[in-house]
Structure 1
Amino acid sequence: MFTGIVQNYTALKIEQSRDQFKSFSIDLTDRQADQLQIGASIALNGVCLTVTRIDAGRAYFDVIMETLRATNLGQLADGDWVNVERAARLGDDIGGHLMSGHVASTVTLIDIERPANNCILWFALDPGQRRYLFSKGYVGLNGCSLTIGEVQADRFNVYLIPETLTVTTFGQAQVGTAVNLEFDAHTQAIVETLERMKAEGAL
């Protein structure tokens, strides 16, 4: 599990690229490397990945077809920045909201507003995604736990504080970028349960 509090961003190195398979590596901070073992989980852009190798302060990951299809990891080039969070450990602060690292899909960044001392990001939205999003609810975007601002028919926004812009890749975000989306699991469970009960005539 993850908290959605991104620890840093770093450059991604593509170690291998084959048909429906890629191998990545990243530099680890001292805190991330502490007692890290093969088989542990680290989120890159919010995608939960398994550490397959640790060498000289770097962690290595294998990424296969479904992850490459459903997330933005398949679109990344060598040297692109990724948000990094090591899996939460017992006793860690839950500063964001609990996240699984299971990305549902991507959303496209369609507008950036910069009023004085603020940054507002707008993302395109389709009806299937909209059913799980509501104003002041939670959402995971490239691994960041964020509070939703407004939800409209075909778009939604989030408001970012300066610290988020400094610590994450959103400080360099550009319109047209595909961003990984993870729904709040509790919201998704409630919505799908109510829809199923309605379809069965229980509501």
Structure 2
Amino acid sequence: MFTGIVQTKLAVTEVKRAEAFATFIFDFPERLLQGLEIGASVSINGTCLTVRTIDNNRVSFDAIGQTLKVTNLGQLESGTVVNIERAARYGDEIGGHVVSGHVMDQVAVTDVIDSTNNRVVWMQRPAKLAPYLLDKGFVSLNGCSLTIAEVEDERFAVHLIPETLDVTVFGDIQAGDWVNLEVDAQTQAVVDTVRRLIGDQDDLKKLLQAGS
């Protein structure tokens, strides 16, 4: 589990690829190494990966074919910068919202609008996830907990403050880039429950009409 509060951004040190498989290697700063063990979970661009090896400050993670297909990790190269967050611990402050690290889709950035001390990023709003991408709702983008500021039929926008731009990869994001997306689990549960109840009522009405 993660909080969606990105701790730092890091460049990939090395990528080793095989068929439907990749190993990503990073040089972690000291503050992220404290208490880190093999088998621990780390969010990389919002994707929960497991620590495979630790060699001094060099940390590696493996990703299988499905992960590479669904997320933007399949596009990573040596030097690519990503968002990093260590797993939340009991007692940690949840400054964002609860994030599982299970990316649901990649969405393309369609427009970036900069103004003084602000950046607006517009992204695709996939039809299959549109019911969960609501105005003022939570969303995890590359592992960063953000609030949706504007919604249109086929796209949505987030507004980014200077701190977010400094700490995360959103400071350098451009139109055409692909972003990992995870919808808020509570929003998904509420929407699915309401849709199921409405569906049940429609089915009941059909049965009553058929029997009359």
Q: Take 2:19 and 2:44, find their aligned partners in 1: how far apart are those partners? A: 21
1:98, distance to aligned residue in structure 2 (A): 0.7
**Residue 46 of structure 2: aligned partner:** 46
Higher Rg of the two aligned structures = 2
Report the TM-score, using the length of structure 2 for normalisation: 0.92
CA offset at residue 13 of structure 1? 3.0
Paired position in structure 1 for 2:122: 122
Extract unaligned runs of 5+ from structure 2: 205-212
Matched ranges for 1:1-203 at <5 A: 1-201=1-201
Structure 1 residue runs of 4+, over 6 Å off? none
Name the aligned partner's letter for residue 188 of structure 1. Q
The code of the aligned residue for 1:172 comes to: D
What is the DSSP-based 3-state SS (H/G/I as helix, E as strand, rest coil) of the residue aligned with 1:194? Answer: helix
Instruction: Give the Å deviation of 1:26.
Output: 1.2
Task: State the secondary structure of the residue aligned to 1:127.
Answer: coil
The whole-number CA distance in structure 2 between the counterparts of 1:198 and 1:32 is 47
1:1-57 Cα deviation digits (max 9, x unpaired): 100000110111334201100000112122211111111000000000000111111
Q: Is the 8 A contact 1:23 1:63 kept in 2?
A: yes
Q: Tell me by how many angstroms 1:59 deviates.
A: 1.3
Q: Matched residues in 2 for 1:187 and 1:118: separation? A: 27
* 2:107 partner letter: V
Partner amino acid, structure 1, of 2:172: Q
Contact 1:3/1:145 (8 A) holds in 2:
yes
Residue type of the alignment partner of 1:115: S
Q: Tell me if the contact between 2:13 and 2:27 (Cα under 8 Å) persists in the aligned partners.
A: no
What runs of 5+ residues in structure 1 fail to find an aligned partner?
Answer: none
Is the contact between residue 14 and residue 22 of structure 1 (CA under 8 Å) also seen in structure 2? Answer: no
Distance 2:29 2:179 in 1: 24
Partners in 2 of 1:21 and 1:53 — Cα distance? 16
Percent identical among aligned pairs is: 51
TM-aligned CA distance change 1:122 to 1:15, over 3 Å:
closer
Alpha-carbon distance in structure 2 between the residues aligned to 1:174 and 1:67: 23
Give, in whole Å, the separation in 2 of the partners of 1:117 and 1:73: 29
> 1:103-157: CA deviations, max 9, x gaps?
0001100101112221100001122121101111100000100011011101100
CA distance, structure 1, for counterparts of residue 198 and residue 140 of structure 2: 28
Counterpart-to-counterpart distance in 1, 2:190 and 2:66: 26
Secondary structure at 2:148 match in 1: strand
**Whole-angstrom distance in 2 between the partners of 1:7 and 1:68:** 23
Q: Would the aligned equivalents of 2:14 and 2:26 in 1 still touch at CA under 8 Å?
A: no
